[in-house]
């Protein structure tokens, strides 16, 4: 039950209404200011997740805020970021189709703001690890800060590294996640890090990237190469009018999955005949353009 009580330095999902939501860190003696009043963190500490707190001053503000335990999807949508994110539905497909689970060792290339990194770090606990690399110093700073806020520093390492040219020194990795502008350039390099039957996924916003990546995967003898796009539609449910929401995200990106295998030629079914095969036409009737048999 103690895990369900809010403690100092916990991350909370603070909700005012359907549009105003925040992912904030609870700190003793401090407060979170909004245009609807101030939430005192000391009023939150010791309460169970799922409670409500009222903004101060009570007489002039007194608005109700819900305090929930953040889900991995909340990390993605509401964490601090400046780069394009991978949405929860895409992250879910990545987890299912790569097999990333508790104990998995994963390489991520292109951490961005650390949104997907935090989701992956959540799922590999308690014995797995995410090794995340990026060449953009701003992204590295932002991702490290977000991983720290999420309490995942023991399960995630974020370092500067160019996965295309650097030797990262990994071996027998369970999965590789690529979120970079030119993923096809990394395929040959990252193959050496993967264990046999290990999985690879590349997230790309444009179909031209998918084509080049797929060709590179084929050239490097990957197997089970498939590309998917997900579209999620939310519904408004009312007593007298239930219908899809008017606005929606029509496209997030394409996800290309593949698996590493140890391929070899089939010595039984791929044997070539000793002599060239041909069909004898002797005695077969031929017809002219009018349909008459030529003798």
* Backbone φ and ψ of 222, nearest 5°: -80, 160
Strands 194-204 and 254-260: antiparallel
The token pair at 93 is 């497909």
User: What is the pLDDT at residue 10?
Assistant: 87
Positions in the chain short of pLDDT 70: 1-3, 79-85, 270-289, 291, 293-295
- pLDDT per residue over 166-219, tens digit each? 999 999 999 999 999 999 999 999 999 999 999 999 999 999 999 999 999 999
pLDDT reported for residue 271: 66
Residues 6+ apart with CB under 8 A from 203: 86, 90, 94, 177, 178, 179, 253, 254, 255
Q: State the pLDDT at residue 200.
A: 98
Set out the domains of the chain in order of their start, with CATH numbers: 2-68 (3.10.330.20), 72-260 (3.40.50.150)
Residue 71 is predicted with a pLDDT of 85
């Amino acid at each position: 039950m103690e895990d369900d009580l809010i403690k100092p330095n916990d991350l909370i999902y603070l909700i005012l209404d359907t549009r105003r939501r925040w992912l904030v860190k609870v700190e003793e003696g401090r407060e979170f200011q909004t245009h609807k009043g101030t939430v005192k963190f000391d009023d939150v500490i010791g309460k169970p997740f799922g409670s409500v707190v009222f903004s101060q001053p009570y007489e002039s503000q007194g608005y109700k805020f819900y305090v929930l335990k953040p889900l991995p999807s909340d990390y993605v949508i509401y964490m601090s970021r400046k780069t394009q994110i991978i949405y929860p539905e895409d992250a879910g497909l990545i987890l299912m189709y790569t097999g990333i689970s508790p104990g998995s060792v994963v390489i991520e290339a292109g951490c961005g703001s650390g949104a997907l990194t935090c989701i992956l770090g959540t799922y590999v606990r308690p014995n797995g690890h995410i090794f995340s690399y990026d060449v953009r110093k701003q992204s590295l700073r932002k991702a490290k800060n977000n991983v720290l806020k999420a309490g995942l520093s023991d399960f995630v390492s974020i370092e500067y590294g160019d996965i295309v040219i650097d030797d990262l020194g990994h071996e027998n990795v369970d999965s590789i996640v690529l979120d970079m502008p030119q993923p096809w350039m990394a395929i040959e390099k990252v193959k050496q890090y993967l264990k046999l039957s290990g999985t690879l996924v590349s997230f790309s916003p444009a179909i031209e990237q998918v084509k080049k990546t797929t060709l590179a995967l084929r050239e490097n003898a990957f197997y089970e190469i498939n590309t998917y796009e997900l579209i999620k539609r939310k519904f408004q449910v009312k007593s007298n009018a239930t219908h899809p929401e008017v606005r929606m995200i029509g496209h997030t990106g394409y996800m290309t999955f593949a698996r590493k295998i140890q391929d070899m030629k089939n010595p039984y079914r791929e044997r070539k005949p000793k002599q060239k095969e041909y069909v004898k036409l002797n005695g077969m009737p031929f017809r002219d353009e009018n349909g008459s048999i030529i003798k």
